[in-house]
Structure 1
Amino acid sequence: MKKNFLPIAINISGEKILIVGGDQSALKKLQILQRFGADVEILAKKVCSEIKQSGVTFFEEAYHKKFLNGYLLVYSCTNNEALDRQIEADCREAGVLVNIHDKPALCQFISPAIYRNGNISVAVSSNGEDVYESIRLRNKIREFLTEKYHNN
């Protein structure tokens, strides 16, 4: 069945977000979420040094569904298909929204390409079908807005 993602803005103030995975894809997701003041925690057997040095809470443990309690959103950045499917099933059962990195077919939500300046955010989404086109259009919008507001 074709997915149909609704673009929304969600208040994450005071909410906890879990990233399962501790490599570079998890780090990139962490950096994006930190731009929005997210309270992010990391769970992975092995956590890269950049994440450890970022100041976020991390747990160097194997994934188990008991870790899902208390989270609004979960991002799976494991690059392990069997584990991703388990995380998706566990999140759905626990009522936690889940995003599986680079697998929109398994996601309940996707993250758009975002440009943010102050309290203005512009998000470009392709319904999870063409990430690079979303990024290209986001960059065009950023260029337009930068020129418009810096030349006035």
Structure 2
Amino acid sequence: MKKNFLPISINIEGQKILIVGGGESAFKKLKILQRFGAEVEVLAIDVSDEIKQSGIKYFETAYQKKYLTGYLMLYSCTNNYELDKQILSDGEKMGVLVNIHDKPELCQFVSPAIYKNGKMTVAVASNGEDVYESIRLRNKISEFLTDNFHKN
């Protein structure tokens, strides 16, 4: 089923966000969320050293539905399709918004490619259908704004 995502901006300052998965994709998502002031926590059987050294709270344990209590949203970076389907189902039941990394067909929301400079944020989205094109356009916008508006 084709999805039709509404691009919005949401205040995540101080909000609890869970990342399920402890590898490179989870670390990249963590860094983005921290830029927007979220209280990010990670849950995974194996948490990377980068995540451990980031100063955030992490839990080295297997995913269970009970861990979803109290989160605004979660990002699943497990690369496990069956587990991701379970996480989506659990999130819907628990009222937690769910994003499944690289699987827009399982997402309740998708994250755009983001350029942020001070109070200005530009987001480029492709309805979850062409992430690399979104990133390419974001980079072009970043270059344009840097070259034309952010000179000191």
Which band: TM-score by shorter chain?
A: over 0.9
Counterpart residue identity of residue 113, structure 1: A
Distance in 1 (alpha carbons) for counterparts of 2:78 and 2:132 = 21
1:145 and 1:86 map into 2 onto residues whose CA distance is 41
Residue 37 of structure 2 corresponds to which residue in structure 1? 37
User: How does the TM-score come out when normalised to structure 1?
Assistant: 0.97
Aligned to 1:22: 22
Identity over aligned pairs, percent: 72
Q: CA RMSD in A?
A: 1.0
**Structure 2: stretches of 5+ with no match in the other structure:** none
CA deviation digits over 1:77-125, x for unaligned, max 9? 0001111011000001111100000000000000000000001000000
Structure 2: how far apart are the matches of 1:49 and 1:42?
Answer: 12
* 1:13 shift after superposition: 1.9
Distance 2:117 2:151 in 1: 16
1:120 aligns with 2:123: no
SS in 2 for 1:85: helix
Aligned-pair CA distance for 1:151: 4.8
Distance in structure 2 (CA, Å) of the matches to 1:75 and 1:136: 23
In 1, are the aligned partners of 2:14 and 2:37 still within 8 Å (CA)?
A: no
Aligned residue runs from structure 1 range 61-100, under 5 A: 61-100=61-100
Could you tell me which residue of structure 1 aligns to residue 2 of structure 2?
2
Q: Does 1:54 align with 2:54?
A: yes
**1:67, CA displacement in angstroms?**
0.3
Secondary structure of residue in 2 paired with 1:71 = coil
The ranges of structure 1 where at least 4 consecutive aligned residues each deviate by more than 2 angstroms after the TM superposition are none
Q: Return the offset for 1:149.
A: 1.3
Q: How many residues align?
A: 152
Q: Distance in 1 between matches of 2:127 and 2:12?
A: 22
2:72 is paired with a residue whose SS is: strand
